[in-house]
Structure formats: C-alpha cells, structure tokens
Amino acid sequence: MIVIVGGGVSGLAIGWRLAQAGQNVTIYERNKAGMESTWAAAGMLAPQIEAEYGEEMLLPLTMASRKIWPDFAKELEAETEIHIDYRREGTIQVSLNRDEQEQLDHRFSFLSRNQLEVEKLSAYEVRRLEPHISRAVTGGIYSPQDHQVDNRALALALKIALQKAGGILREQSSVEEIVIDEGCVTGVIVNGDKITVDHVVVAAGAWSRNIPGIPEISRPPVRPLKGQMLALEMPENAPLIAHVIWGPGNSIVSNVYLAPKSDGRLVVGATVEEMGFDKRMTGGGLLEILRSAWEVLPGIYDLPLIDSWSGLRPASRDDAPILGKSGIAGLTYATGHHRNGILLSPITASEISSYIIEGKDSNLISSFGVGRF
Ligand code: GLY
C-alpha cells in the first residue's frame, strides 16, 4: 500500500496516476483536500513569466510540465466531466514608466536568451490587445504559451478522478507519524493506529517539514511563504481583460498579476511575505495589491470586491521543488513547489508515480532531490 501525506494538487495528481496504474493508494489529508495553497493559487501555467534570474535550472522541468498540461486537462475533463477552464490567451507583462520599461527590456533579453517564445509589444500593441490597460503603459512582453486554469475546479476534478480510478481519499485525517525502522518506512500512524505501508509520499506543501517520525537530517527544508490575494467581479459578458496580465508591484507585492476567469472572477495577487504560518489578511496586503492592480488596470476601481484570502507557498531554499528520494527507503518527497504548484502538477504526478513504480528517478527530476541541500 502507498500512502500520500497531503491532499493538495500534488498529492491528488500523484494519487490519480498511481491508482490508474493499479496501485493501492490512500491519501491522508488533515483538513479538506485542495483547500490550502491549491485553493489559494491563481491557476497560472506560466513558466516563462514566472522565471526568475538565476533559476534557469528550473526551466526544463516547468517547460516540460507546461507541454503536457493541455493533454492532462483534456484527460481530466473527459474522466470527470468537470470543466477546469483551461484558457489559452496567454500572458502579457507590462511596464508603466521608463525605469520599468528598462527592466522589461532586460527581462525580454533574459527570456529570449533562454530560447523562450516571447514577443515584445509597443504600448500601442498592448492597448490594442487589452484596451483597458492604463494609458501610462510604455510596452509589454507577450508570452503566448503561458496559459491558465481554474485551480479550484482542478482540485475538485482531481479528487473525483482519483476516486474513480480506485484511489482512496481520507479527509480530516492527519498522519501523526511516519514509522521508520532501521532506515526503512514500515508504516504511518493515523488516529493512534499503526497502518502498515510499503511506501509514503510526502506532499504536504508548507507543512512537509514538520511531520513527526522523519529524522531531522532528512526533513525537506520547506517553509511557508505567505501570499495574500483577492477577487473582483467583472461585468457579465464584458470582462475587463482576456489575457493574464502581469505588472510592476510595490513593497510586499513583487509583481502584481490579474487572472481573468471565465466565471467572471478577476483573481488578483499577490503578496510575498515571510510570516511563518500566519495566514491573516492585512490592510497593507490588500492595499498594496489593489494599488498595484489599479495602476495597471484602472477600471478595477468600480468592480465589486467579492473575495480575499491568503495561502502559504511551500518554498525551499533555492525556490525549486524537492522531488524523489529522501535518503530513507520507502519515503519519497513531492514538495517545495513554491510559486509553481499548479503548473508542475502533471509532471510531478507522472515523474513521482514512475519513480515509485520503477524505483529509479529520471533525468528530469534527479537534480531536484533533497540531497542537494
Ligand atoms: N504563482 C503565483 C504566486 O505564487 O503568487
């Protein structure tokens, strides 16, 4: 039996693939599945626009996942009849003054140097594509392959797909300890009972570091990185924007993004804050997100604010995920996805399920082991 600790997008997707392969798999989720960072995300599948300087080693993995996303979405929708709102308009990053334009030009060179498909846009071209963008816009970068989905619908679909394939989901059930005997996983303790297992996958997001039983030295070094978000309601049949738009941020918002969903929500984020497990919304958080978003898209001023929430990104020390072997037989990691959990879910699922079934990791994930720390 395989146990997955954590019912977020990674745990659910791995569980689905394992169940499809005929494995006996149970996911233990301490609350409700898909309700932490999976719920909090914006659903952007944007390896290019999310690419950070100095993190080029991530690109083969994020690009490989983006490549398989369309088929993953199709299969999931066919399997579950849940529409996950896969949208292909692409992403536009804009600048609003001369300094930002220089940064954008620099970013364009960085993306082009890495052979990523991006197009430079003049201010006129940005406003032709998105007429509601601020008149202050000086230019943009268009990333046509950086798509998006509805992450909340995705979680629901994965939950159904997992169960249809024969996987078991136990919600409101914490793994209280992973039992390790002589360097090998033998069980998990749930509700005080020991369950004998062959394999455990830790996919518990920001909580992955704190699961009892794993020796200190082998724990995945993952910490919570808070992101506050909000949603506005766009007029029915007259959405303000069609593309995902990225713009400059300020203070605790490094970049602002606005992701239009087909149900009329305009999802706007996000702060990036080292606040431990404190998920409370703050006045400053909302203010900075709204101010940055309004500078890019002034028309949001009149939109009803319909929701606000925060989530905890599972961040590792190098912002890359921690995938595969843990140094303990029968214990695998699938955590630390930082800003890219939704994007990386298909590749995490296929790579980790193959690793468990075949017992060896591929070139794609071998450099993302916990051993690198
Ligand atoms: N991927 C968006 C975020 O982490 O805010």
The closest residue, in CA terms, to atom 4 on ligand 1 is 339
Ligand 1 pocket: which of 339, 342, 344 to mutate (most atoms <8 Å of CB)?
339
**Looking at residues 353-370, what average pLDDT do you find?**
94
Any ligand 1 atom below 6 A from CB of 313: yes
Percent of the chain with pLDDT over 70: 100
| In the chain, domain spans | 2-82+151-222+317-372, 91-147+224-315
pLDDT at 14: 98
Question: Which ligand 1 atom sits nearest the alpha carbon of residue 270?
Answer: 5
Asked if 2-82+151-222+317-372 and 91-147+224-315 have one fold, the answer is no
Q: What is the predicted pLDDT for the residue at 206?
A: 98
* Cα–ligand 1 centroid distance for 311 (angstroms): 10
Distance (angstroms) between ligand 1 centre and the Cα of 270 equals 7
Q: How confident is the model at residue 193, as a pLDDT?
A: 95
Q: Is the CB of 227 under 6 A from ligand 1?
A: yes
What per-residue confidence (pLDDT) applies to 236? 86
Closest residue by Cα to atom 3, ligand 1, is: 339
Q: Specify the pLDDT at position 360.
A: 86
For residue range 212-243, list pLDDT tens digits in order: 999 999 999 999 999 999 999 999 889 999 99
Residue length, the chain? 373
Residue bearing the CA closest to ligand 1, atom 1: 339
Is the CB of 337 within 6 Å of ligand 1?
Answer: no
Tell me if 253 CB under 6 Å of ligand 1: no
Q: What is the pLDDT of residue 281?
A: 98
Residue 336 Cβ inside 6 Å of ligand 1? The answer reads no
Choose one of 62, 246, 257, 258 to mutate for the ligand 1 pocket test, by most ligand atoms within 8 angstroms of C-beta. Answer: 257
CB of residue 42 inside a 6 A radius of ligand 1: yes
Mean pLDDT, the chain, whole residue set: 97
Q: How confident is the model at residue 253 (pLDDT cuts 50, 70, 90)?
A: very high
Output the CA 227–ligand 1 centroid distance in Å.
7
The CATH number that domain 91-147+224-315 falls under is 3.30.9.10
Q: For residue 139, which of 120, 118, 119, 122 has the smallest C-alpha distance?
A: 122
- Asked whether residue 178 carries a pLDDT value surpassing 90, the answer given is yes
CA of 60 to the centre of ligand 1 (A): 19
In percent, the amount of the chain with pLDDT more than 90 equals 97
Give the CATH fold of the 2-82+151-222+317-372 domain: FAD/NAD(P)-binding domain (3.50.50)
pLDDT tens-digit profile of 179-201? 999 999 999 999 999 999 999 99
Query: Under a CB-based contact definition with an 8 Å cutoff, are residues 185 and 330 in contact?
Result: yes
Nearest atom, ligand 1, residue 227 CA: 5
202 CA from centroid of ligand 1 (Å)? 22
| CB of 244 closer than 6 angstroms to any ligand 1 atom | no
Find out whether the beta carbon of 323 lies less than 6 Å from any atom of ligand 1: no
pLDDT band for 145, please (50, 70, 90 cuts).
very high
Question: Which protein residue's CA is at the shortest distance from atom 2 of ligand 1?
Answer: 339
Q: What does the pLDDT look like over 308-361, one tens digit per residue?
A: 999 999 999 999 999 999 999 999 999 999 999 999 999 999 999 999 999 888
Residue type, 337: H
pLDDT for position 361:
87
